A = this chain, B = another copy of it.
Amino acid sequence: MVYGSWDKAPGKPTVLIYAHYDVQPVKESEWDNPPFSPKVIDGKIFGRGASDDKSGVMLTIWAVEAMLRTDGKLPVNVKFIFDGEEEKGSPNFKNFLNKNKELLKADFALNADGSQYSETTPSILMGLRGSAILEFNVKTANTDAHSGQFGGKTPNAAVALSQIIASFYTKEGNVAVEGFYDKVVPTTLEEKEMIKKVPYDKSDDMKLLGTTTETGDTTFSPLERVWYRPTLEIIGMQSGYTAPEGHANIIPGSAMARITCRLVNNQNGSEIIDLIVKHINKNCPAGATVTYKFTKGGAAPLKFPTGTKAFNYVSDALFKFYGKQPLQIAAGFSTGALIDIKETLVIYPYSLGFEQADERWHASNEFFRLSSIRKGQLIYCYYLQHLADEEGKLKK
């Protein structure tokens, strides 16, 4: 954890700003330029973490720096907490908060690991899915076996793994794990209205990713699926000899897969993992045994309220710059640290960040728009001043 503060405004409110400096792993061969040597091309800076979330770290520092250089002081007290484990679900963050409640005490909190709907349309994050991660290993033999010598009488771990993975899904693209949807609450009418206001076009996703079809249960709209429905995704899978060149004529004796679930409403990560383990054990082909590696650091789902001062100050800052009311959107991803802040410090960390959804978070050739740096700096400065002014008026 990296902590820093400016506390020379006694009697004024304190704002806690969260961001994270760690990044997702890279597959270096898929990058056009080295992922850890940032390169500016056409007004975009390319590099791992450029958007998610070095942008949040730098923007907020630069906003505060600008105010200090201009005015010699800030209108409110500011505390920075920069997380180094967000990408693995911030497994130690809650503990850290509990141990440092006094140090981190604040009246308002912002999450700088956030995004705007587009370059010209602002948005406020009203909900996050939770997440849970599971790794499992299918074993059919103590060793790989020669595919000629043993092929036809010996179980194949790659095949067993594939059969297990195929069993996770119904033909309609839903999750076939028993009980998986039991704690999912139907989308409310208010949430459906929120979705209607978002000018979402599924062909944009398809252009962005190069996909040829949408997937999932199309009785729900795409945004409803991503914001309010849970998922079970295979995020990695390996068996046998898979180096790019050559091949090994073996029947693999073991195979590995990693699962990430995105959770909603009352779904609980460890309950969901239990259901998946039960499903695997039940659907495991003869001759295969499965072992599990339970990854800590899943996150619970989280929803943010409207109509609070904290919501309004963020909304006002965005309105001031963009000249229009921000869309209220939810998100399909998880930021475990945010629910920790909410639960431990008892403040809602509203998101105020300037990433954009096409900036290839977690993928190769991630980038951040240089124009968003200046924009973010201005909006953060306005937010701090506006909050100080409004809170000052309330005190009179």
Contacts and interface: CB of A to CB of B under 8 A. Distances in A.
Interface of A: 24-25, 27, 30, 87-88, 129, 131, 133, 135, 140-156, 158-159, 161-163, 165-166, 168-169, 202, 205, 209-216, 222, 225-226, 229, 231, 233-243, 246-253, 255-258, 260, 262, 286-287, 289, 295, 331-334, 357, 360-365
Contacts of A256: 242
B362 A249 contact: yes
B25 A246 contact: yes
Nearest to A207: B142
26 contacts: A133-B247, A143-B360, A146-B333, A147-B235, A148-B262, A149-B357, A151-B226, A152-B225, A152-B262, A152-B332, A153-B225, A154-B205, A158-B165, A158-B236, A162-B163, A212-B287, A233-B251, A234-B240, A234-B252, A235-B240, A235-B241, A237-B238, A238-B238, A238-B239, A242-B256, A248-B362
A235 B247 contact: yes
A333 to B, nearest CB: 3
A214 B151 CA distance: 10
A389 to B, nearest CB: 35
A165 B322 CA distance: 50
Contacts of A236: 158, 239-242, 247-248, 252
Contact of A240 (B158, B159, B162, B237): B237
A352 B156 CA distance: 30
A86 to B, nearest CB: 11
The copy count of this chain in the complex is 2
Given A151-B262, A214-B153, A239 B249 contact: no
Contacts of A202: 153
A234 B144 contact: no
Contact of A363 (B146, B162, B212, B331): B146
A258 B247 CA distance: 8
Contacts of A332: 148-152
A166 B163 contact: yes
A387 B363 CA distance: 66
A209 B240 contact: no
A177 B141 CA distance: 26
